[in-house]
A = this chain, B = another copy of it.
Amino acid sequence: MTSSAAKHDIFQAIADPTRRKVLELLSEKELPISEITSHFSISRTAIVKHLHILSEADLVHGQKKGREKVYHLQSEPLKEVKDWLSYYEQFWTNKLSILRHIVERDEERNQ
């Protein structure tokens, strides 16, 4: 049922600071391309390219409304990043979990 095929990797999509700022803008409200562009010092064409990349990662979706194309945020794909992060969380949260990790690793090795 999902609309667009996530051709672009989510990690790569959020790697660019301009794209993260676009996401931030769209998190407040949906906006047409021209208005998004007005928040940056780069050209509209450049913004459109960023929107395409975000769109391919399913992070935004654009909808034609009259002569405008209004983009809105779709944050669900960020779940993938969160899941990835959750694995590493154990390493920074507290030393007990680090210790547990080491113990588990040792147990594995001794099997």
Contact = CB atoms under 8 A, between A and B. Distances in A.
Contacts of A15: 9, 11-12, 14-15
A27 B78 contact: no
Chain multiplicity (copies): 2
B92 A85 contact: no
Interface residues on A, range: 20 to 34
Contacts of A95: 74-76
B91 A27 contact: yes
A20 interface: yes
Nearest to A82: B85
Closest 3 pairs between A and B when the two form their complex, measured CB to CB? A15-B15, A75-B91, A75-B92
Given A20-B84, A75-B92, 7 more contacts: A11-B14, A11-B17, A12-B15, A15-B15, A28-B105, A29-B105, A75-B95
